[in-house]
Amino acid sequence: MSNIDLSNEETTLSHATLPRGAQWLVGVAAIALGGLALVLGMGIVGAVVIGVLAFLIGYPLWALLVENRRSATDKLITGLVWTAFGIAVIPLIWLVYMVVARGASVISPEFLTYSMRSVTGDEQGGLYHALMGTLIVTGIAALISIPIGIMTAIYLIEYGKGNRLAKAITFLVDVMTGIPSIVAGLFAFALFTLLVGPGTRFGFGGGVALSLLMIPTVVRSTEEMLKLVPDDLREAAYALGVPKWRTITRMVLPTAIGGIVTGVVLAISRVIGETAPLLVASGFNPNMNSNAFDDSPMMTVPVFIFTQLSEATAKGVSYAWGGALVLFVLVMVLNLIARIVGTIFAPKTGR
């Protein structure tokens, strides 16, 4: 057998690469090209589009010439993903900027602690009555929706797999997910008109209307979280003789509590800004009303914003932006609380 001498042959496993910071060089060139387009009168939007296209084409093309096709494809897809992310974030940033810029000047202790009772013209007033009404109505909706939604999801996942009742409930939940919010308000208004009397508008009616919109979201989010709990956990508990109800309450629910809390907060955030059902079921009231069962309308922040905009005055528009900022901060606080609660009650993974 002859020996083959491979000592003089070189095996190259690497290829040429772009210089360090190549993406920044291409980015600077793209910005320069966008600036040239702006100077030529193409406008800000046109300049941004030119710059982004220059980067998306130039960077992968350079990689194709220096490295290889796979590297160029990777850089092209990465650039497209970041571009899509930027397009999605721009409206959010613009919305936050508009709400903060126009609403911050209105926020004051008087605005947060006064109602609109007997306020005319440019007299000082505030949304205290609307803020309290929103907290009360949303609290009522949460008290109704959270137990019903979570227990419905537990039945669908743990007890009713495959039977006709579970399929019917799933279908009805899907239908409720798509109903217009005004329909929920009309239902609550018609219901309490029959039970209490014609023209009844009060806080509890608004809570019932919002609960119709909350329940499907709570059910769906809880379902998905319960599905993520491994069946091995349930089977281990059953093998030890633990009853099913105790397995659900002591093992399944604590494991999924983080996602369930997040879903509940998303449901609250989804309904806290609803205007149409509250305008129909709770009505409009410039005075403070803290009794949800009193036979009188209860103001909420979304309805406050709507009524202030309806006045078509400078003060009304500024108050509407102030209400929008308060509502925005309220939703942010709810999401922060959900994160904290989910972190505290999430199952510990450390050994």
pLDDT tens per residue, range 35-44: 888 888 888 8
With residue 133 as reference, give the H or E element that holds it: helix 128-154
Give CA–CA dist 95/77, Å, rounded. 28
Lowest mean pLDDT among 8-12, 16-20, 225-229: 8-12
Rounded to 10 degrees, what is the CA torsion of 169, 262, 259, 92? 100
Give CA–CA dist 321/326, Å, rounded. 9
Is pTM, for the whole model, over 0.75? yes
- CA 247 to mean position of chain CA atoms: 31
Lowest mean pLDDT among 5-19, 128-142, 268-282: 5-19
Confidence band for 1, pLDDT divided at 50, 70 and 90: very low
pLDDT attached to residue 321: 92
Task: Give me the chain's average pLDDT, please.
Answer: 85
Q: In this model, does residue 316 exceed pLDDT 90?
A: no
pLDDT tens digit sequence for 36-83: 888 888 888 888 888 888 888 888 888 888 888 888 888 889 889 988
Lowest mean pLDDT among 108-122, 148-162, 163-177: 108-122
Domain ranges of the chain: 22-103, 113-345
Confidence band for 9, pLDDT divided at 50, 70 and 90: very low
Give CA–CA dist 277/346, Å, rounded. 35
Q: In this model, does residue 301 exceed pLDDT 80?
A: yes
Name the CA radius of gyration of the chain, rounded: 29
CATH match for 113-345 among 3.30.420.40, 3.40.1080.10, 1.10.3720.10, 3.20.20.60: 1.10.3720.10
Q: In this model, does residue 117 exceed pLDDT 60?
A: yes
- CA 145 to mean position of chain CA atoms: 18
pLDDT attached to residue 15: 63
CA-based end-to-end distance of the chain: 59
CA atoms within 13 A on the CB side of 240: 9
